């Protein structure tokens, strides 16, 4: 047996152990162990058929093909779909075998919910553990490097090699926003799981769309030689470079394969290597030297992470009916897609995608004209934001380790001031000290000062206090706690306050 086949069999076996555990738990919760032993024996055919169906469906569906440490939303949706198919197949086969005589209707539903929860939880834990080990093995060096967002231009073998190199050598420092092609037929396809966003002619619109999602591009890497670009493509690239802070870098030049570049006269005197890194470091607020950082130890961080995972998993199960209702309302109000994402700086300034239910209509009309934000928001959307139901998808961010249940709210990159870089020393939260002491009705500088106070005083008891106050805030609205604000101001220090710059609210 080849190594790849042995690995597939091993991963499928682990999933089958989880399926068997979930099935046994479902039987126990359903109360079958209160009946006579004959009933338990009668359930054995369905249990074994379930395992066989899960093995077949998971293997054919390729559930083992994605390493758990790289699991994403798409992989979790795959778990849900394949689990449903396996249970439906098991029910059909068992019906043909014994007409489902000893099986209650609620058993397959309970079984499916437990299988999905266990499989997704296992993958989320593996991803969190892998990320944690990267930080430990790297001695924190990766966290001290500036983070940079890159847009790749060109669809060829070099593009694929570049994306593989980024994944292997710079996954913690470099983020690829997507790929730009010269042919419109490539739009919507993917290369190494990175989407082809559009063509060079649409570059300005693509950059504006990325900016709407909070993605600020630092650099464009062109994997096609300058003399092989189609007429007009080079002009578009240079136009973007001259009209913005985005540097255009030809990979062939960096590798030493080009002599005198066709764009040399335009780019004379510009240092392509240093400028993007300086811009990236400045935009995330100087995360190299974090002031006001948290002083608690590893035991607190580990305990907080355990509470986050258990709490988020419990909330996902408990609030699932409400989330489904909100999704239905969003579909009727603003249409599809239901989920909106924005890129924001997380722990140590590392960018991540923050998810929300959409509460605003599209930013452009049918003629591609920009619609003012005031006209995009609906009454229903305002209500969802008021009671924070639009933030339910962020429980997924908590499960995969991008966020915490409690912590400073993540800002857009342009809103993260260097004066408050210390708030990036902890994971951003769904709710936080600033939200329960004023929320949206206090000034932005007071919000950030409250965040710094939380970072300096973080504890599980304080997190519990914030959780309880969050319930009160959702029920009765935002109220300013002047005592907490004054305490945070005093703690932050008068000298820091004098140099604080007012920045736009989140």
H helix intervals, 215-360: 233-243, 251-254, 264-267, 274-283, 298-318, 320-333
Specify the pLDDT at position 135. 57
- Give dist(CA 32, CA 421) in Å, integer: 56
Nearest CA-CA partner of 393 in 348, 466, 338? 338
User: Over the stretch 11-51, which tens digit does the pLDDT of each residue have?
Assistant: 788 888 998 888 888 877 766 554 544 455 556 778 888 88
Digit-coded pLDDT (tens) for 439-472: 888 888 889 999 999 998 999 899 999 999 999 9
CB–CB of 251/221 below 8 Å?
A: yes
Q: Which residues pair with 345 in a beta bridge?
A: 351
Instruction: Give the bridge partners for 301, in sequence order.
Output: none
Question: What are the beta bridge partners of residue 480?
Answer: none
User: Residue 107: exposed, middle, or buried by beta-carbon count in 10 A (0-12, 13-18, 19+)?
Assistant: buried
Name every residue whose Cβ is closer than 8 Å to that of residue 497 and which is 6 or more positions away in sequence. 445, 449, 489
| Per-residue pLDDT, 443 | 86
Burial class (CB in 10 A: 0-12, 13-18, 19+), 182: middle
Question: What per-residue confidence (pLDDT) applies to 11?
Answer: 79
8-state DSSP, 82: H
Residue written as token pair 């092989």: 228
Which residue has tokens 């060096």? Answer: 141
* Domain boundaries along the sequence of the chain: 3-137, 146-283, 298-499
Residue 353: strand, helix, or coil: strand
Q: What is the pLDDT of residue 258?
A: 59
pLDDT tens per residue across all 506 residues of the chain: 454 566 667 778 888 899 888 888 887 776 655 454 445 555 677 888 888 899 888 888 888 777 787 777 778 888 898 999 999 998 888 888 777 776 777 788 888 899 999 999 988 888 878 766 665 555 444 444 557 899 999 999 899 899 989 888 887 788 899 999 988 888 888 888 889 999 998 998 899 888 888 888 989 999 988 878 887 888 888 888 878 888 888 888 887 775 444 444 334 334 444 444 444 444 444 433 444 444 456 788 888 999 999 999 999 989 988 999 999 999 898 888 889 899 899 988 888 899 999 998 877 676 767 777 777 888 898 899 989 999 999 999 999 889 999 999 998 887 788 778 888 889 999 999 999 998 888 888 889 999 999 998 999 899 999 999 999 988 888 888 989 888 888 877 644 544 444 433 33
User: Counting beta carbons within 10 angstroms of the beta carbon of residue 420, is it exposed (0 to 12), middle (13 to 18) or buried (19 or more)?
Assistant: buried
Alpha helices in 365-502 (DSSP H): 373-376, 379-386, 394-399, 433-436, 444-457, 460-476, 482-492, 494-499
The answer to whether 348 and 143 are in contact (CB under 8 A) is yes
Other beta carbons within 10 Å of 399: 23
CATH of domain 146-283: 3.40.50.720
What pLDDT, on the 0 to 100 scale, is given for residue 492? 74
pLDDT at 297: 67
Tokens read off for 396: 């997924």
Kindly give the pairing relationship between strand 351-357 and strand 190-191: unpaired
Greatest C-alpha distance within the chain: 87
d(CA 448, CA 489): 10
């Amino acid at each position: 047996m080849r190594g790849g086949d042995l690995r597939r069999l091993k991963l499928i076996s682990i999933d089958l152990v989880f399926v068997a555990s979930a099935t046994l738990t479902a039987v126990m919760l359903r109360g079958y162990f209160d009946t006579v032993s004959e009933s338990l024996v009668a359930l054995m055919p369905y249990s074994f058929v379930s395992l066989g169906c899960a093995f077949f469906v998971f293997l054919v569906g390729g559930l083992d093909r994605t390493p758990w440490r790289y699991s994403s939303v798409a992989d979790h949706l795959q778990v849900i779909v394949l689990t449903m198919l396996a249970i439906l197949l098991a029910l059909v086969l068992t019906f043909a075998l014994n007409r489902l005589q000893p099986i209650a209707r609620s058993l397959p539903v309970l079984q499916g919910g437990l299988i999905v929860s266990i499989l997704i939880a296992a993958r989320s834990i593996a991803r969190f553990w892998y990320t944690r080990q990267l930080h430990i093995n790297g001695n924190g060096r990766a966290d001290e490097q500036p983070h940079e967002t890159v847009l790749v231009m060109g669809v060829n073998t070099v593009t694929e090699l570049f994306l593989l190199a980024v994944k292997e050598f710079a996954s913690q420092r470099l983020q690829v926003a997507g790929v730009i092609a010269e042919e419109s037929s490539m739009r919507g396809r993917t290369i190494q799981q990175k989407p082809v966003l559009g063509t060079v002619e649409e570059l300005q619109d693509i950059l504006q769309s990325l900016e709407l999602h909070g993605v600020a591009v630092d650099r464009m890497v062109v994997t096609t030689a300058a003399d092989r670009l189609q007429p007009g493509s080079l002009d578009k690239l240079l136009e973007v470079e001259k009209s913005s802070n985005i540097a255009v870098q030809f990979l062939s030049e960096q590798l030493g394969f080009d002599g005198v570049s066709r764009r040399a006269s335009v780019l004379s005197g510009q240092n392509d290597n240093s400028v993007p890194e300086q811009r990236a470091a400045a935009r995330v607020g100087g995360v190299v030297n974090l002031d006001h950082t948290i002083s608690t130890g590893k035991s607190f961080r580990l305990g907080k992470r355990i509470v986050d995972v258990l709490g988020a998993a419990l909330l996902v199960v408990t609030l699932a009916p409400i989330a489904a209702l909100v999704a239905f309302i969003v579909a009727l109000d603003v249409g599809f897609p239901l989920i909106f994402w924005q890129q924001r700086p997380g722990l140590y300034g590392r960018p991540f995608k923050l998810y929300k239910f959409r509460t605003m209509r599209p930013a452009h009309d049918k003629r591609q004209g920009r619609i003012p934000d005031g006209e995009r928001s609906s009454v229903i959307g305002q209500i969802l934001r008021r009671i924070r139901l639009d933030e339910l998808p962020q429980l997924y961010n908590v499960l995969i380790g991008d966020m915490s249940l409690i912590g400073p709210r993540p800002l857009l990159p342009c809103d993260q001031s260097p004066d408050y870089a210390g708030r990036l020393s902890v994971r951003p939260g769904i709710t936080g000290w600033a939200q329960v002491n004023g929320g949206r009705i206090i000034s932005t500088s007071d919000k950030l000062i409250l965040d710094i106070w939380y970072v300096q005083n973080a504890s599980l008891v304080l997190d519990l206090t914030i959780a309880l106050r969050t319930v009160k805030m959702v029920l009765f609205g935002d109220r300013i706690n002047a005592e907490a604000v004054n305490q945070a101001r005093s703690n932050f220090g008068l000298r820091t306050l004098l140099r604080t710059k007012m920045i736009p609210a989140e």
